Each structure stands twice: as C-alpha cells, then as structure tokens.
Amino acid sequence: MISLTILGKPITKKNSMRIVTNRKTGRPFPIPSKQFVEYQTLFLSQVKGKQQPIDKPVNVQAVYYMPTRHRVDITNLLSATHDLLVDANILADDDSKIVRSVDGSTVLYDKENPRVEIEIRRVDDES
C-alpha cells in the first residue's frame, strides 16, 4: 500500500482549460489553466522517491478536502489525480488494467487545510 497526502487545493484539469491559438496554423487548442499547472507543480514536488511505477491492478482511493462547500465534479478530480500519479511515476498508466477501482473516494470540506489523501492498494487480478 502507498499513502500520500498532497497539501493544497485540488484543481481539476478538464474544467480548468485555456484555449490558445497555434501561431502557424491559426487553429485553437486547449492547454491546462495556470491554476492547474501550479497545482501540478505543487503535487509533483510533494511526491517523494523514485520507484518502479505500479503496473499491477490497484484501487486508488482519493479523499479530497476542499476549502469551500462549492460543488465539484469528483470524476474530474479523480481524472486529474490519476494523470498526476502517472506524471509522478507512481502509476505506469491510468487505464482500467491498472486503476481497477476508486472505491472509497469522496469529497469533504476543510477550510483550513485543503488537500487530497491518496491510498493505493493492490487488488487481486480476476482476469
């Protein structure tokens, strides 16, 4: 089992996009918001150690403590967290062969100490 606590307000990736224009083609394309890039930097700076990335089936439980009671989309929070765990070399990938479940994930309120607490547990491979 791996337990991580990432301090700071969790930011979603998908709801925090900027649209920029390619100078050569003139086509617009999305990039992450400045807030997400800052959160990504904060997240990666708090993940310690270089280990072999997990490539076996796991449950990734993420408990988000948000600084306000505003509604948030837990699916987008989980997606951002999974992407960041791959960026941090904790998970080899975030596809369904590795991230089998997110059981126990939830969103709670903590005005004074926003964070995400992540537990990664191996699950039996049933296939």
Report, as an integer, the average pLDDT of 56-62. Answer: 97
Please state whether the predicted TM-score (pTM) of the whole model is above 0.85. yes
Q: Which residues contact 64 (CB under 8 A, 6 or more apart)?
A: 10, 72, 74, 77, 105, 106, 107, 108, 115, 116
pLDDT in tens, 86-112: 999 999 999 999 999 999 999 999 999
Confidence of residue 65 (pLDDT cuts 50, 70, 90): very high
pLDDT in tens, 13-30: 877 678 889 889 999 988
- Using CA atoms, how far apart are residues 8 and 25, in angstroms rounded to an integer? 37
Q: Would you tell me which CATH number, out of the four given (1.10.150.120, 3.40.50.150, 3.30.1330.70, 3.30.420.40), belongs to the domain 2-122?
A: 3.30.1330.70
Parallel, antiparallel or unpaired: strands 58-66 and 17-21: unpaired
- Using CA atoms, how far apart are residues 83 and 45, in angstroms rounded to an integer? 15
